């Protein structure tokens, strides 16, 4: 079978390379990909991750069995929904499910609703309210842009002044645009950070190794 991977970073490169190792996979296309991927036998497709209709047309024209979606912003834009509506299989969460990733406030609400342990927090769109919360809680404290910020939207502030400055940059200076229109301010938790992934299908789930 032939597969399509959407994205251009190292994550997509590693995934596409691994998929190509399968005896069941004849060819792996990557859109838009990067030149280094060609060294591993991957075929590049000059289509942007934002051009959903063109990606769908390509998948149909090339008999793609299923498509893997890498970038968070593509998932947040509903690319999986568009593929599904076109009758195509896509590996990745729908826009609604992906909100767990692209909205930190939404993720917090879900955790609180279902009793998942999480740091004490507050969400703010008003700078003065955010500042008052920071001054009340003290430091160290964590300030996060609510939306996607390419991995740059989290500030672990050692002092109240640093936290207030971070909130100011996000809420008033528009450092991250709409992604910083709200901030999540939460207590600092000391410990080892890791990511635990699981594939979910209905009422079944398969846990992957930690990262």
Instruction: Give the per-residue pLDDT at 167.
Output: 98
Percent of the residues in the chain that have a pLDDT greater than 90, as a whole number: 90
What's the pLDDT at 211? 82
| Per-residue model confidence as pLDDT tens digits over 152-202 | 999 999 999 999 999 999 999 999 999 999 999 999 999 998 999 888 888
pLDDT digit string (tens) for 24-74? 999 999 999 999 999 999 999 999 999 999 999 999 999 999 999 999 999
* Whole-number Å distance between alpha carbons of 206 and 165: 41
Name the pTM for this structure: 0.82
Looking at every residue in the chain, the average pLDDT score rounds to 96
Q: What is the pLDDT of residue 174?
A: 95
CATH number of 2-99: 3.40.50.20
- Percent of residues, the chain, with pLDDT higher than 70: 100
User: Phi first, then psi: what are they for 163, rounded to 5°?
Assistant: -65, -45
Assigned token pair, 178? 């709409």
Give me the pLDDT at residue 147, please.
Answer: 95
Whether 2-99 shares its CATH topology with 103-187 is answered no
CATH tag, 103-187: 3.30.1490.20
Domain ranges of the chain: 2-99, 103-187
DSSP 50-112: T-HHHHHHHHHHTTEEEEEE--HHHHHTTHHHHHHHTT--EES--HHHHHHHH-HHHHHHHHH
171 three-state secondary structure: helix
Confidence of residue 150 (pLDDT cuts 50, 70, 90): confident
């Amino acid at each position: 079978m032939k597969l399509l991977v959407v994205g251009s970073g190292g994550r997509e490169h590693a995934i596409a390379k691994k998929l190509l190792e399968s005896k069941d996979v004849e060819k792996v296309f990557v859109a838009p990909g990067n030149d280094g991927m060609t060294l591993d036998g991957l075929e590049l497709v000059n289509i942007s991750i934002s051009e959903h209709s063109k990606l769908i047309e390509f998948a149909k024209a090339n008999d793609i069995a299923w498509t893997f979606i890498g970038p968070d912003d593509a998932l947040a834009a509903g690319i999986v929904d568009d593929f599904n509506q076109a009758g195509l299989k896509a590996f990745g969460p729908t826009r609604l499910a992906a909100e767990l990733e692209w909205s930190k406030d939404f993720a917090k609400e879900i955790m609180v609703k279902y009793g998942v342990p999480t740091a004490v927090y507050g969400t703010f769109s008003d700078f003065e309210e955010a500042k008052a919360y920071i001054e009340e809680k003290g430091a160290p404290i964590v300030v996060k842009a609510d939306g996607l910020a390419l991995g740059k939207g989290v500030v672990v502030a050692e002092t109240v002044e640093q936290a207030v400055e971070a909130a100011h940059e996000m809420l008033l200076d528009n450092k991250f645009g709409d992604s910083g229109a709200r901030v999540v301010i939460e207590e600092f938790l000391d410990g080892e950070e890791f990511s635990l992934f699981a594939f979910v299908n209905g009422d079944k789930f398969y846990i992957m190794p930690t990262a």
